[in-house]
């Protein structure tokens, strides 16, 4: 008698063994997916941090350039004020001498013709100076000389010849100084952002340096200078100064390479 076929029955352990590979695949997939997500997240964070650092660096660079420009402007303005102060002192001394001379002429009974001649000379010189130097009509010294000549003309009409002569003489002192300062003034048209000094500044080179075609380190070097070389400064743009050497060559030099001359 045949035994009935027994149904195949697998132990629970066998079922578990067959499920292990599937579970492992699922777990592995989950882990890989998590790792990929974590890697992308970390990458995004690195990129974000890098962008922050680059932005901060750009801001710091711009701030440093701005501060450098302000420092250069302040130093150049200080140099300009010092030069103006020296020139004003010189003008005062010369004006006193002219007063003394005028008083001496007063004692010798100066004539109407002398006062009128001095006034005419001053008016001609002032007109010539205004024609020679563009924009001089706004200069304070030019305006002062013009006012002195007008006052001299009024005194001349009043027959106050000594007063007319004195005022015209004072005006001529200012005009003569303006003529001296205008010698060698730059004829080159100004560029955008360029600012003229009130008067040409007597400068000297404080160390070996280079003069460039334009106001920036990327411009071509036109000539080199040794320490102590004397220059005249006419204007500035940022930290760069437009200068001219005694031999007539001109260009731009960085502000911290120059200083005022010792008179």
Provide the residue-wise pLDDT of the chain in tens; the chain has 263 residues: 444 444 444 444 444 444 444 444 454 455 445 544 556 677 777 777 777 787 777 777 777 777 787 788 888 888 887 787 777 777 776 776 676 565 555 544 557 888 888 888 888 888 876 665 555 555 667 788 888 889 888 888 887 887 788 888 888 888 877 766 565 554 567 788 888 887 788 899 999 999 999 999 999 999 999 999 999 898 899 999 999 998 889 999 999 999 988 75
239 and 223 both lie in a single domain: yes
Domain containing residue 229:
24-87+186-263
The span from the CA of 242 to the CA of 201, in Å, is 11
Residue 11 lies in a domain: no
Task: Pick the last residue of a domain from 182, 206, 223.
Answer: 182
- Which of 109, 120, 175 is closest to 152 using CA atoms? 120
pLDDT of residue 223: 95
Residue 101 lies in a domain: no
Task: Pick the last residue of a domain from 130, 152, 182.
Answer: 182
236 and 175 both lie in a single domain: no
Residue holding tokens 């962008």?
51
Residue 102 lies in a domain: no
Total number of domains in the chain: 2
Residue 95 lies in a domain: no
Asked if 243 and 231 touch (Cβ cutoff 8 Å), the reply is: yes
Task: Pick the last residue of a domain from 182, 212, 229.
Answer: 182
Residue 7 lies in a domain: no
174 and 198 both lie in a single domain: no
The span from the CA of 259 to the CA of 209, in Å, is 13
Polymer length of the chain: 263
H or E segment at 204? strand 195-205
178 and 198 both lie in a single domain: no
173 and 221 both lie in a single domain: no
79 and 146 both lie in a single domain: no
Residue 8 lies in a domain: no
CATH number at residue 74: 2.30.30.40
The span from the CA of 202 to the CA of 187, in Å, is 18
168 and 190 both lie in a single domain: no
32 and 146 both lie in a single domain: no
Q: Are strands 240-245 and 250-254 parallel, antiparallel or unpaired?
A: antiparallel
Residue 83 lies in a domain: yes
113 and 176 both lie in a single domain: yes
Residue 227 lies in a domain: yes
66 and 191 both lie in a single domain: yes
114 and 176 both lie in a single domain: yes
């Amino acid at each position: 008698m045949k035994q009935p076929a027994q149904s195949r029955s697998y132990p629970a352990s066998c079922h578990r063994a067959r499920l292990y590979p599937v579970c492992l695949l699922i777990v592995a997939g989950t882990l890989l997916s998590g790792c990929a997500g974590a890697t992308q997240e970390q990458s995004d964070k690195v990129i974000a941090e890098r962008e922050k650092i680059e932005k901060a660096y750009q801001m710091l660079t711009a701030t440093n350039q701005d501060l450098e420009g302000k420092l250069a402007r302040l130093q150049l303005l200080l140099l300009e004020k010092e030069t103006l102060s020296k020139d004003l002192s010189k003008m005062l001394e010369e004006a006193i001498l002219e007063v003394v001379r005028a008083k001496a002429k007063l004692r010798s009974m100066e004539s109407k013709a002398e006062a009128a001649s001095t006034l005419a000379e001053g008016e001609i010189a002032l007109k010539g100076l205004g024609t020679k130097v563009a924009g001089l009509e706004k200069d304070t010294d030019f305006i002062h000389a013009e006012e002195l000549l007008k006052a001299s003309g009024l005194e001349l009409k009043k027959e106050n010849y000594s007063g007319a002569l004195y005022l015209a003489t004072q005006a001529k002192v200012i005009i003569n100084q303006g003529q001296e300062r205008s010698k060698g003034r730059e004829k080159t048209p100004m560029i955008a952002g360029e600012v003229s000094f009130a008067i040409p500044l007597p400068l000297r080179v404080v160390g070996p340096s280079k003069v460039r075609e334009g106001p920036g380190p990327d411009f071509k070097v036109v000539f080199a200078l040794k320490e102590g070389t004397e220059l005249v400064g006419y204007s500035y743009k940022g930290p760069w100064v437009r200068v001219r050497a005694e031999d007539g060559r001109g260009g731009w030099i960085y502000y911290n390479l120059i200083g005022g001359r010792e008179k």
